[in-house]
Amino acid sequence: MTQIALKSEQKNKSKKVPPVEILTNAAWQFAYAALWQEQHFYPKEIDRVKQEIAEYFLLSNDQQKAFTAFCERVILTNRYLSFEKSRYLPHPSIWFNKNFQYGFTGTLSWYYKLQNKRQEIPNYHEGIQALAQSYWQYTSKPSNKIFITCRKKLLQLKEYGLIHIFYYSIIYSQILNPIN
């Protein structure tokens, strides 16, 4: 295990943060549900993606904040793609490559703009934030209560597309990482 991974795991124990492997799998499932749903990728492709995502978490000082920011950036990408049908994403291993400026790396500026807008207008894109925080809670400790609370909040906000992403993320977590 690398020094970064060891330090990260030590921080996680004190904050009750799920291990990086769980965060990485949950983040991949979220991105898959939001951006590549129903597309098939070879295991090598998924492994490369998970390496990039794990590195993102390992380099973070606050993995909870990194996880919710990850989810919000993925949702912003989902919305960007939905505005014009001619837009598309490359394979996940390209999109998540930290050197590909038009991929996940490029969404950081969108995230900063979103954060700045929230300073001016509280509750701006509240659904995006609610989903990201709820998915963090669900990843940390899955429960029906978290699922139902998130569903009610997103229904109240009329964020039906986000409900869809939430449902599929949880379904994929059960299919791709079943609890034995």
pLDDT digits (tens, 9 = 90+) for 59-103: 999 999 999 999 999 999 999 998 887 888 999 999 999 999 999
Query: CA-to-CA distance for 104 and 115, rounded, in angstroms?
Result: 17
**Would you state the pLDDT for residue 179?**
44
Give the domain range for residue 75.
3-8+16-176
Write down the pTM of the prediction: 0.87
Question: How many CA within 13 A on the CB side of residue 91?
Answer: 12
**Would you state the pLDDT for residue 38?**
83
- pLDDT tens digits for range 120-139: 998 889 999 999 999 999 99
**Would you state the pLDDT for residue 24?**
96
Query: CA-to-CA distance for 30 and 168, rounded, in angstroms?
Result: 8
Q: Number of folded domains in the chain? A: 1
Report the pLDDT averaged over residues 44-73. 96
Number of neighbours of residue 137 by Cβ within 10 angstroms: 18
Running DSSP on this structure, what letter comes out for residue 17? P
Report the pLDDT averaged over residues 13-34. 87
Q: Token digits for 118?
A: 């929230």
Query: CA-to-CA distance for 152 and 148, rounded, in angstroms?
Result: 6
